[in-house]
Amino acid sequence: MISMIIVEDEPTTNKFISSSIDYPSLDIALAGSFFNADDALDFLKNNHVDLVLTDIKMPKTDGLTLIKEALSLQPELKFIVMSNFDDYSLVAKAFKLGIYDYILKIDFEPTAFSNILRKAVLDIHENKKNKREADRLSLKVQFWNGKLGETSTNKERIGVLKILNYQNITNTKWNMNKEILNYGICNYIEEIVMNYNNIKYFQNNYDEFIFIFDREHIPDFLQFSETFFSFITTFLHEYSTLNSVGSVYDGKESISFLKQYSLAVDVISYSFIMDDRHFFPYSLVSDYNNEFDFNKYLTEFKNSFDKFDYTNCVNILNEIKTLKINKEGLSQLLLFYKILLSTVTNRFGKTTETDNNADTPLISATEFHDRLVYLLSYGNKLSLADNSPIAEIISYINKNFNKPITLSFLSSEFQFEYGELSRKLKAATGMSFKKYITALRMREAASLIKTTDFKITDISQMIGYPNYEHFSRTFKAFFNKWPTEIRKDQ
């Protein structure tokens, strides 16, 4: 709201102007009316004002003096002066001082004056907006140049707001209206910040805002920042289904702003494993230091998966959920889940007609976990519901993949019709018999190449490929690397 005062020495005129205008409807708060310039100046020394309506001729201190001295106190002030017909020379001097507009007392009429005020309010708001944008740009430049928060005694703390699904939302729901979406986001955040005198901020990217909190003047900083970010994250989700999280560096140690920012961004990455939260203070994960043993868990999972032990696969996933993984392990965890999902999906595919989530992008550890458990539970049901001979045949293949096994041999040995056996094996393993036994052989070959000194030609024989050239080509097609390349990498 725009703050305004009236300075008019004639009591009748002063009262008429003060009472004849509906100031709130114009977004104006009438902060006071004064009968002389000196009282008005005393008020301006201690109170912020945006607009002053003043008579140009007053006893003792006139309107021109008031304008000069008031502008020295508050340079952004706008003035509208009132004059009589014979005051033209004074009005001209007032315009040289930079007044906004003037009106003749004899022509004063509430509706016409309201129109002048309405235009002035719009201009003041626009000037304020431009100044705030310039200030934020300056703040952004100083921030990244390291010119802010350089001392170790600073009391300010950095917070970050990150919109996690910004690209997805702009590409689907908003498409060509990216700028409109951004305008709405920025306007709302500015409305929130303007309620506080202890927060500065700037937009770093379309999906990221950086805040500087004056912690010294915030009694309960952690509670304050959580409430602050809650307002924003709730609005963004309701406004356009944007999923966002806030983070602050709340450590006791005073460090540079750039270091605080780096730590706050690191903390935001934990939203991947704690997707039920929308606020992440640094203190929340400062003790998260478990390393994620990528190779160990991947090997354990694949060994159990290859043995169709889906129950143990789920146990491994549940164990991982209990880990307090350090920041470096989070990116490995994401890759781990992607590899597992690809492996499991290759076997089961879209498991049922009602599995509507099969093509939904996954953005959190919980979503990956739930999706994997769903697929593995389907595998368990399949193993129990399907007849035991299929499980027996798969077990036989797993133990004898290095022998010249064929589908014809298996159908004869286990007394299955060839086509039926082919269909049941594919349903149970998610791939054709040929692809399944090839995968077993290639994984075993890679393991032997990496962990033993056997000649590659001997390994070829050991896994069921008497023809080395055939083995080598198959290996290259499977891993996109020649066997010799795998050996050299060790």
Helix then strand then coil, in percent of the chain rounded to 5, is 60, 10, 25
- The DSSP secondary-structure symbol of 170 reads I
Instruction: Give the pLDDT of residue 354.
Output: 45
Instruction: Band the pLDDT of 87: cuts 50, 70, 90.
Output: confident
Instruction: Band the pLDDT of 151: cuts 50, 70, 90.
Output: low
Q: pLDDT tens, 435-478?
A: 889 988 998 898 899 888 899 999 999 999 999 999 999 999 98
Compute how many other C-beta atoms are within 10 angstroms of the C-beta atom of residue 52. Answer: 27
Instruction: Band the pLDDT of 352: cuts 50, 70, 90.
Output: very low
Instruction: Give the pLDDT of residue 385.
Output: 47
Domains defined along the chain, listed by start: 2-125 (3.40.50.2300), 146-285 (3.30.70.270), 294-385 (no CATH), 387-490 (1.10.10.60)
pTM higher than the cut 0.75: no
Distance, C-alpha 175 to centroid of its chain: 18
Query: Is pLDDT above 60 for 161?
Result: yes
Instruction: Give the pLDDT of residue 60.
Output: 87
DSSP assignment of 180-244, as one string? HHHHHHHHHHHHHHTT-SSEEEEEEETTEEEEEEEGGG-SSHHHHHHHHHHHHHHHHHHHH---E
Query: Is pLDDT above 80 for 378?
Result: no
Mean pLDDT of 372-392: 71
Instruction: Give the pLDDT of residue 377.
Output: 82
Compute how many other C-beta atoms are within 10 angstroms of the C-beta atom of residue 84. Answer: 14
Compute how many other C-beta atoms are within 10 angstroms of the C-beta atom of residue 191. Answer: 11
Instruction: Give the pLDDT of residue 443.
Output: 85
Partnered with residue 55 across adjacent β-strands are 82
Q: pLDDT tens, 248-277?
A: 999 888 888 999 999 999 999 999 999 888
Residue given tokens 């409430």 in the structure block: 227
Compute how many other C-beta atoms are within 10 angstroms of the C-beta atom of residue 114. Answer: 17
Q: Treating both helix axes as pointing N-terminal to C-terminal, what angle do 365-385 and 418-429 enclose, rounded to 10 degrees? A: 150
- pLDDT mean across residues, the chain: 87
Partnered with residue 203 across adjacent β-strands are 209
Instruction: Give the pLDDT of residue 399.
Output: 85
Query: Is pLDDT above 90 for 363?
Result: no
Mean pLDDT of 217-221: 88
- For the chain, the first-to-last Cα distance in angstroms comes to 70
Taking CA atoms, 465 is separated from 92, 398, 434, 454, 469, in Å, by 101, 16, 14, 15, 9
Residues in Cβ contact with 251 at an 8 Å cutoff, skipping those fewer than 6 apart:
263, 282, 283, 286
Length of the chain: 490
Instruction: Band the pLDDT of 174: cuts 50, 70, 90.
Output: low
Taking CA atoms, 319 is separated from 53, 219, 232, in Å, by 72, 40, 34
Please tell me which residue, 221 or 169, carries the higher pLDDT value.
221
Instruction: Give the pLDDT of residue 168.
Output: 79
Instruction: Band the pLDDT of 201: cuts 50, 70, 90.
Output: very high
Instruction: Give the pLDDT of residue 470.
Output: 93
Residues 235 and 490: their CA atoms lie apart, in Å, by: 52
Instruction: Give the pLDDT of residue 253.
Output: 85
Mean pLDDT of 127-149: 86
Partnered with residue 12 across adjacent β-strands are none
Query: Is pLDDT above 50 for 319?
Result: yes
Q: Please give the share of the chain, as a percent, with pLDDT higher than 70.
A: 92
Residues 330 and 335: their CA atoms lie apart, in Å, by: 9
Query: Is pLDDT above 70 for 73?
Result: yes
